[in-house]
Amino acid sequence: MSRLFLPIVLLSGCYEFEGDRGVLGFVSNLVDPSHPDGWSPEVPIAAGTDATFLPVKRLGLSDEEEEALGPIQVTGSARGLDERWTDGPELTVTGSHGQDGVVRYRGELRDHFSVAFTEVEELVVGEPLVMLADSMVKPDELWMLEGASIDLVAAAYGADGAVGFAVSDLLVEGAEPTESGLRVLADHDRVVRLELMGAVRELPVHVLQPEDLVATLRIEHPIELGDDTLTLVREVGLARDGALVLLPDSPAVIEQAP
């Protein structure tokens, strides 16, 4: 069995999604931790988000051909959306609930994609890979052994499913904000509070001592990624009341058959 420690890059590449014409590859400031590919235009954006898009790849060219051509000479614009600002290829737009439109790029090449904005109704918190495991329950509260820490991400959901958002819009109280989400330290009992565009999630954190544990368990959960099946594995403590307790120096790992 091979074992990989979190964090792990599931899919690598220099762009995150393609335009509808398949001419340009784009990156954005948006995340969707519920999907292994991250955010794409098929996923609506949290209403009120300043969403920034940048073309970074001419599709169909090798890296050497791309480098020889230099920066992509296009200008972005939006139809049906509110433009915040544009600087050549970099474009920032926003929209209110129910607003949709088309992001267009014109210049040496042409491409476009559609986006829509919707309200965030719910926030879910979990580890990056745990968010992809439908069989694994995302925590409503955390039990942690004193000295442990855990890196978490938040996923946003609206009436019709996942919603993309900018991590910079996520307000965090009671934990340390990170570039991808938050880090919770087990130094004292607390309530971690998250807020995104009006949606609020509170996550109680309970800190236990070694004498509060009665056993150590190995837990496993499958994760389906395309044709691959991975297994999320971690060792946890078992408290006297049956709670599963996160341990110091015991990160989640994934296992995959060779």
pLDDT in tens, 112-158: 999 999 999 999 998 876 676 554 456 788 999 999 998 999 999 99
pLDDT given at position 10: 33
50 and 158 assigned to the same domain: no
Weakly modelled stretches of the chain, pLDDT under 50: 1-13, 135-136
- Would residue 142 count as lying in a domain? yes
Strand ranges of the sheet holding 45-46, from the earlier edge strand across to the other edge: 45-46, 111-118, 100-107, 74-79
105 and 29 assigned to the same domain: yes
Q: What angle do CA 179, 180, 186 make, to 5 degrees?
A: 95
pLDDT digits (tens, 9 = 90+) for 186-206: 999 999 999 999 999 999 999
89 and 17 assigned to the same domain: yes
- Would residue 2 count as lying in a domain? no
Tokens of 192: 């971690």
- Would residue 170 count as lying in a domain? yes
Residue range(s) defining the domain that contains residue 74: 7-118
- Would residue 29 count as lying in a domain? yes
Q: What is the number of structural domains in the chain?
A: 2
Among 74, 103, 118, which residue terminates a domain?
118
202 and 233 assigned to the same domain: yes
130 and 111 assigned to the same domain: no
Exposed e or buried b for every residue in 168-177, given b needs 16+ CB within 10 A? ebbebeebee
Among 118, 149, 176, which residue terminates a domain?
118
143 and 114 assigned to the same domain: no
147 and 113 assigned to the same domain: no
126 and 94 assigned to the same domain: no
- Would residue 1 count as lying in a domain? no
pLDDT given at position 130: 67
126 and 249 assigned to the same domain: yes
197 and 209 assigned to the same domain: yes
CATH classification of the domain holding 80: 2.60.40
225 and 99 assigned to the same domain: no
39 and 99 assigned to the same domain: yes
Tokens of 181: 């989400």
Residue 51 burial (CB count, 10 A): 24
Among 118, 140, 160, which residue terminates a domain?
118
